Amino acid sequence: MWATLKFALFTILLILCALLLNGIGYHFDARTASVPVAPTVLIDPGHGGEDGGAVGINGCVEKNINLEISLILRDLLQMSGIDAVMTRSEDIMLYDSAAPGKKKAQDLKNRVMMAEELNAALTVSIHMNTYPSEKCSGAQVYYSPNTEESKTLAEGIRSSFINNLQPQNQRQTKEATSAIYLLHNIKTPAVLVECGFISNREEAQLLCDSSYQHKVALAIYSSIIEHLNKEV
């Protein structure tokens, strides 16, 4: 009974978020919130387990925010009939303690391997940004150099953030270098979304807020749906 009630409440919350975003000019059309086929989208919450990622100015830990936004994004996609898969759905690193090699290297290789094994239509890696100067803010999207489709998706996500959440954001999409292992090595379309700077006090507070996390997830979700509909 409680599980059913929680699901109902969560669904209502998603609808309210969509309505809220409609109220500020966010285009959310239920008629197009699905695609004719069921492609696999791999959602990759960055870091996890012993690898916490960046620590925000307010003490927040990147890996936790990454996971929260990724779980919301997964649920939105699944509700639209898309096969959304997570590289991790809990606070773990992806490595085998009995296998040789460093944990981080194993973790990154396993994320790439998962995308290849699933033959994912898209891989979306969720991260938070940080910088020594507190002034830096705004989302930024990186794309894999291995497919043109990656750049197209990145541009779509960037536009969604600007149009619906961050109208002052002038950050351009960037092609990933070898420094971003996942995007540089993956062969299927992939992007990495730096959802904002947790080194910026105001943005860190927003990114820790559940309602804002839903808005971020919806911004990414709508871009994925639009992208997949174009590709069909």
Answer whether residue 153 shows pLDDT above 80. yes
Backbone angles phi, psi at 194, to 5 degrees: -85, 100
Q: Flag whether pLDDT at 32 surpasses 90.
A: no
pLDDT in tens, 43-65: 999 999 999 999 999 999 999 99
Q: How is domain 39-231 classified at the CATH fold level?
A: Aminopeptidase (3.40.630)
Residues 6+ away with beta carbon under 8 Å from 151: 143, 173, 175
Domain residue spans of the chain: 39-231
Q: How many CB atoms lie within 10 A of CB 52?
A: 13
Q: Which of 78, 89, 80, 77 is closest to 44 using CA atoms?
A: 89
pLDDT in tens, 87-117: 999 999 999 988 888 999 999 999 999 999 9
**pTM, rounded to two decimals:** 0.85
Local confidence band at 37 (pLDDT 50, 70, 90 cut-offs): low
Give long-range contacts, CB 8 A cutoff, 24+ apart: 165-174. Answer: 165/139, 165/215, 165/216, 165/219, 166/138, 166/139, 168/138, 169/138, 169/139, 170/138, 171/138, 171/139, 171/140, 172/140, 173/140, 173/141, 173/142, 173/143, 174/140, 174/141, 174/142, 174/143
Task: Report how far residue 114's alpha carbon sits from residue 190's, in angstroms, rounded to the nearest whole number.
Answer: 13
Give the separation between CA 164 and CA 21, rounded to whole angstroms.
7
Cα–Cα dist 212/226, whole Å? 21
85 has pLDDT over 90: yes
Q: Is the predicted pLDDT of residue 230 greater than 90, yes or no?
A: no
Q: What is the pLDDT of residue 100?
A: 83
